[in-house]
């Protein structure tokens, strides 16, 4: 019996780690120098390599120290670099460390704080039990990094009042990560299985956390901006109006942490000027393009209002997004509908996430396009409850209303079951518009059955299901089944780290068609130990859409890796399918490549390039649409940068390259300075020009903005 207890104790000590948070009356100085006071702290040091060699001993030592006082959590990381000199270039991927913790005991969500050896930093939410990183959260915290001989050191101070946590919970989940750029090595404090990712539910513990911060927990966030707008409208290729307006204005954002778990956000007359423009995409599909949210008010609390998903890189499943914040203050031909105000409340606990959001938009009229958009209310209510450790069930109500005859509501119920690398998600929703209701269901699975990786999804979107005014579920009338399963191998040594083959089938009934399409194919994927990898898939089968039957065939290829220590990505997709832009059945292709190259530590040149190719219904090459976006990024330091780009859209008829014409050009410039936590100064310019029927590139609009955001924090 004694022997058994001894073995159990050894096992527990080997596979379960914890670190004690010691209290200090004397706050350490955050300057990148680990001084004597840190010797009183408990430490975490026995890291485990995850890549390139899983479960091996790291090539360099890492030690983490943790302290706290009444108001702050302090961390110091000593990263030894005796074999690999740290890469600390401002414009290429370099050495960095990440601190992650779960202050709710939720085992599904947490915060992350990343500090790079070059001084750059990042923060955000970790969602879906570690499968998704969301950098939309912007917190108040302080850090310093300094290079020393044979090591670099990082110090971090995180005020308790800048994060949310479960009051009275003194045991938080904790994870530390270190990346060594010279040999592309990733080390974790908590051991990670390669096929499982970094799961929050398997983090170790940080014990004896005792926040004692007091105060109002207020953030006042005034914004002032001076905006120059020049807009030009044409009729029959002749100038109709050329309006120029200089608009000084101001807005106010407010955040109040009512308790460490409940937060209220408000915004009055927010400016959502075109600081960043959405990239051009030629859409040949029947469904609209999804655009990411960029606006701060809607990014705050985004993690609460989303429906459950499988995480990043899992493209086989689209959640029922019955609340899509881009519909609030949406853009109409380049003009954003003004938002008069918004109010949001979110709350988090160990087992519950709740949220409520409301916004009101102004009336918008433009006679040139006969557009008349009335004042409109928007709202969303969300509740999520954790069950079975790290699984969830939830409900979401979203809607918009002008009056009793003009509304669009939806209610959804969803659940996510998680067990290690295995996930199962089920969702259902009901939509309501005047005299119309509709139903939609979607479910999916991702996981391992033995050594077989298996992914599957099923959906049925009713013909009358419609959330066009408040959500993004454009597939009304579609039914779809998908199942792929095949062997997945991991290799502790050698050239490859992982390899899988997934044969499978897709069965789909497109809207308006009674026939079922049946597509079979396979996906092949490999990740190599030098960070290169590829993914190849091929599909074919009888397809029915637009009252047309044909043999669908398509292939996709992705390749990624590093060239001269800078990331390179290439993707191409070729298919024989229906071209909804032209209205006929033909071949089409999409190609994309991205690459950034660091010229000097402060400057990099980048390129994003696309090439869309369209064949006609006689299999003759009809048109090519190249998109080239050269970019220059200059970083003065970790807090100040200048970015310049020019997005060139061209059209080549057939293969007549000599007749290639410049269709449009968008020029953008953004200077940003993060002069204090959550305080920014911007200077931005966006100029858009488009070709008319006579081949002339005519200006459409020019927007210039000087914008300052200052955080008042108490």
Strands, E assignment, 150-237 = 151-159, 171-180, 185-188, 204-207, 218-235
Asked whether residue 180 carries a pLDDT value surpassing 90, the answer given is yes
Instruction: Supply the pLDDT for residue 614.
Output: 96
Do 250 and 366 belong to one domain? no
Asked whether residue 283 carries a pLDDT value surpassing 90, the answer given is no
Residue 266 in domain: no
Residue 150 in domain: yes
Give the separation between CA 328 and CA 330, rounded to whole angstroms: 5
> What's the mean pLDDT in 142-164?
94
For 286-308, what is each residue's pLDDT tens digit? 888 888 887 778 877 788 999 99
Residue 147 in domain: yes
> What's the mean pLDDT in 218-239?
73
Per cent of the chain over pLDDT 70 is: 94
68 confidence band (pLDDT: 50, 70, 90) = very high
For 401-414, what is each residue's pLDDT tens digit? 999 999 999 999 99
Give the separation between CA 651 and CA 653, rounded to whole angstroms: 6
Exposed/middle/buried for residue 36 (C-beta within 10 Å: 0-12, 13-18, 19+): exposed
Do 221 and 329 belong to one domain? no
Do 155 and 224 belong to one domain? no
Q: Which residue has the tokens 């699984």?
A: 391
Do 189 and 224 belong to one domain? no
Per cent of the chain over pLDDT 90 is: 64
Instruction: Supply the pLDDT for residue 241.
Output: 65
> Are the C-beta atoms of residues 309 and 274 closer than 8 Å to each other?
no
Residues whose CB falls within 8 Å of the CB of residue 627, separated by 6 or more in sequence, listed in order = 280, 282, 608, 609, 610, 611, 612, 647, 648, 649, 650
Instruction: Supply the pLDDT for residue 693.
Output: 74
How many Cβ atoms are within 10 Å of 264's Cβ, its own excluded?
A: 15
Domain assignment of residue 125, given as a range: 16-207
Instruction: Supply the pLDDT for residue 275.
Output: 52
Q: Give me the number of domains the chain comprises.
A: 3
Do 618 and 593 belong to one domain? yes
Question: What does pTM read for this prediction?
Answer: 0.88
Do 189 and 232 belong to one domain? no
Residues whose CB falls within 8 Å of the CB of residue 658, separated by 6 or more in sequence, listed in order = none
How many Cβ atoms are within 10 Å of 569's Cβ, its own excluded?
A: 13
- The top-scoring range by mean pLDDT among 139-143, 328-332, 693-697 is 139-143
Residue 6 in domain: no
Do 655 and 613 belong to one domain? yes
> Are the C-beta atoms of residues 526 and 499 closer than 8 Å to each other?
yes
Residue 274 in domain: no
Give the separation between CA 22 and CA 28, rounded to whole angstroms: 13
Q: Which of 257-271, 329-343, 499-513 has the lowest mean pLDDT?
A: 329-343
Three-state DSSP at 490 gives strand
Do 453 and 314 belong to one domain? yes
Q: Which two tokens stand for residue 399?
A: 């809607």
User: Where is pLDDT greater, at 699 or 541?
Assistant: 541
> What's the mean pLDDT in 585-609?
95
Residue 123 in domain: yes
For 197-219, what is each residue's pLDDT tens digit? 899 999 999 999 999 876 657 88
Do 116 and 242 belong to one domain? no
At 404, phi and psi to the nearest 5?
A: -70, -15
271 confidence band (pLDDT: 50, 70, 90) = low
How many Cβ atoms are within 10 Å of 258's Cβ, its own excluded?
A: 12
Q: Which two tokens stand for residue 107?
A: 């085992």
Asked whether residue 11 carries a pLDDT value surpassing 70, the answer given is no
Q: Which two tokens stand for residue 240?
A: 């109709």
Nearest in space to 327 (alpha carbons), one of 410, 415, 251: 410
Residue 269 in domain: no
Q: Which of 459, 477, 495 is the last residue of a domain?
A: 477
Q: Which two tokens stand for residue 72?
A: 């702050």
Asked whether residue 10 carries a pLDDT value surpassing 60, the answer given is no
CA 414 centroid distance within chain = 21
Do 247 and 319 belong to one domain? no
Residue 493 in domain: no
DSSP secondary-structure letter at 2? H
Three-state DSSP at 445 gives strand
148 confidence band (pLDDT: 50, 70, 90) = very high
Do 300 and 155 belong to one domain? no
Q: Which two tokens stand for residue 363?
A: 């009336």
> What's the mean pLDDT in 389-402?
95
Q: Which of 461, 477, 493 is the last residue of a domain?
A: 477
Q: Which of 477, 511, 539 is the last residue of a domain?
A: 477
For 28-42, what is each residue's pLDDT tens digit? 999 999 999 999 999
State the average pLDDT for the chain.
Answer: 89
CATH of the domain at 652: 2.40.160
For 602-614, what is each residue's pLDDT tens digit? 999 999 999 999 9
Do 225 and 327 belong to one domain? no
């Amino acid at each position: 019996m004694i022997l058994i207890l001894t073995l159990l104790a050894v096992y527990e000590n080997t596979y379960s780690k914890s670190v004690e948070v010691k209290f200090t009356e004397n706050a350490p100085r955050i300057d990148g120098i680990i001084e004597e006071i840190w010797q009183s702290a408990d430490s975490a040091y026995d890291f485990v390599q995850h890549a390139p060699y899983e479960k091996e001993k790291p090539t360099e030592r890492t030690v983490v120290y943790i302290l706290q006082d009444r108001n702050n959590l302090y961390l110091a990381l000593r990263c030894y670099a005796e074999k690999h000199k740290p890469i600390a270039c401002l414009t290429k991927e370099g050495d960095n460390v990440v601190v992650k913790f779960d202050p709710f005991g939720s085992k599904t969500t947490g915060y992350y704080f990343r500090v790079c050896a070059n001084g750059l930093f990042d923060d955000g939410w970790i969602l879906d039990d570690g499968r998704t990183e969301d950098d939309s959260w912007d917190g108040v915290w302080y850090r310093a990094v300094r290079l020393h001989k044979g090591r670099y050191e990082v110090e971090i101070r995180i005020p308790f009042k800048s994060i949310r946590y479960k009051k009275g919970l003194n045991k938080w989940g904790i994870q530390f990560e270190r990346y060594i750029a010279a040999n592309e090595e990733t080390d974790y404090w908590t051991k990670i299985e390669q096929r499982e990712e970094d799961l929050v539910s398997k983090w170790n513990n940080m014990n004896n956390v005792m926040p004692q911060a007091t105060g109002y927990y207020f953030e006042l966030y005034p914004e002032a901006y001076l905006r120059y707008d020049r807009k030009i409208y044409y009729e029959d290729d002749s100038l109709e109006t050329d309006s120029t307006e200089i608009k000084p204005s101001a807005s106010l954002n407010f955040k109040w942490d009512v308790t460490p778990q409940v937060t209220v956000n408000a915004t009055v007359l927010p400016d959502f000027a075109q600081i960043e423009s959405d990239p051009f995409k030629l859409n040949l599909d029947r469904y609209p393009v999804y655009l990411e949210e960029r606006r701060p008010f809607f990014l705050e609390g985004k993690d609460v209002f989303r429906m459950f998903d499988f995480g990043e890189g899992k493209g086989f499943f689209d959640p029922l997004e019955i609340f899509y914040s881009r519909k609030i203050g949406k853009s109409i031909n380049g003009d954003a509908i003004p938002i008069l105000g918004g109010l949001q409340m979110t709350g988090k606990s160990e087992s519950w996430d709740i949220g409520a959001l409301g916004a009101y938009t102004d009336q918008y009229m433009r006679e040139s396009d006969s557009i008349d958009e009335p004042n409109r209310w928007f709202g969303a209510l969300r509740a999520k409850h954790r069950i079975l450790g790290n699984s969830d069930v939830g409900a979401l109500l979203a809607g918009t209303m002008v009056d009793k005859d003009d509304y669009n509501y939806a209610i959804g119920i969803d659940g996510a079951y998680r067990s290690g690398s295995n996930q199962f998600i089920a969702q259902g929703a009901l939509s309501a518009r005047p005299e119309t209701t509709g139903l939609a269901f979607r479910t999916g699975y991702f996981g391992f059955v033995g050594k077989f990786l298996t992914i599957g999804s099923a959906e049925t979107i009713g013909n009358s299901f419609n959330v066009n005014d408040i959500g993004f579920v454009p597939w009304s009338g579609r039914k779809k089944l998908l199942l792929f399963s095949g062997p997945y191998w991991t290799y502790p040594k050698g050239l490859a780290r992982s390899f899988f083959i997934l044969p499978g089938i897709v069965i789909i009934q497109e809207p308006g068609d009674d026939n079922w399409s049946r597509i079979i194919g396979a996906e092949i994927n490999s990740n190599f130990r030098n960070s290169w990898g590829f993914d190849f898939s091929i599909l074919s089968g009888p397809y029915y859409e637009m009252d047309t039957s044909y043999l669908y065939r398509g292939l996709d290829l992705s390749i990624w890796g590093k060239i001269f220590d800078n990331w390179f990505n290439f993707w191409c997709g070729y298919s024989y399918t229906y071209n909804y832009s032209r209205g006929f059945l033909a071949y089409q292709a999409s190609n994309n490549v991205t690459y950034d190259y660091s010229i000097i530590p402060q400057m990099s040149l980048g390129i994003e390039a696309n090439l869309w190719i369209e064949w006609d219904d006689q299999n003759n090459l009809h048109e090519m649409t190249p998109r080239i976006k050269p970019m220059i990024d200059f970083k003065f330091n970790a807090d100040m940068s200048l970015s310049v780009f020019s997005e060139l859209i061209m059209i080549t008829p057939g293969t007549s390259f000599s007749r290639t014409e410049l269709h449009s050009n968008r020029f953008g410039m953004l200077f940003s300075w993060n002069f204090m936590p959550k305080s920014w100064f911007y200077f931005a310019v966006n100029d858009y020009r488009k070709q008319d029927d006579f081949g002339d590139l005519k200006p459409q609009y020019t927007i210039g903005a000087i914008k300052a955001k200052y955080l008042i924090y108490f």
